[in-house]
Amino acid sequence: MTAARQGGGGGERLQKVLARAGLGSRREIDRLIAEGRVTVDGVPAVPGTRVRGRERIVVDGRPVPRSRLRAAPPPRVLAYHKPAGQVVARRDPEGRDTVFRHLPRLREGRWIAVGRLDVATSGLLLVTTHGELAHRLMHPSRRIEREYAVRVFGEVDGLVLERLQRGVRLEDGPARFERIEYAGGGGANQWYHVTLREGRNREVRRLWASQGVQVSRLIRVRYGPVVLPPGLPAGRWRELTPGEVAHLCELVGLPRP
Q: Which residues are catalytic?
A: 118
Q: Phi, psi at residue 164, to the nearest 5°?
A: -65, -30
Contact 103, 237 (CB under 8 A): yes
Q: How far apart are CA 243 and CA 230, in angstroms?
A: 19
Task: Please give the radius of gyration of the chain, using alpha carbons only, rounded to the nearest integer.
Answer: 20
Q: How far apart are CA 217 and CA 59, in angstroms?
A: 40
> Of 138, 129, 144, nearest to 225 (Cα)?
144
Q: How far apart are CA 91 and CA 86, in angstroms?
A: 11
Q: How far apart are CA 59 and CA 40, in angstroms?
A: 9
H helices present in the chain, as ranges: 14-20, 26-34, 66-70, 131-138, 158-166, 203-209, 242-251
Q: How far is CA 109 from the centre of its chain?
A: 17
DSSP 8: T
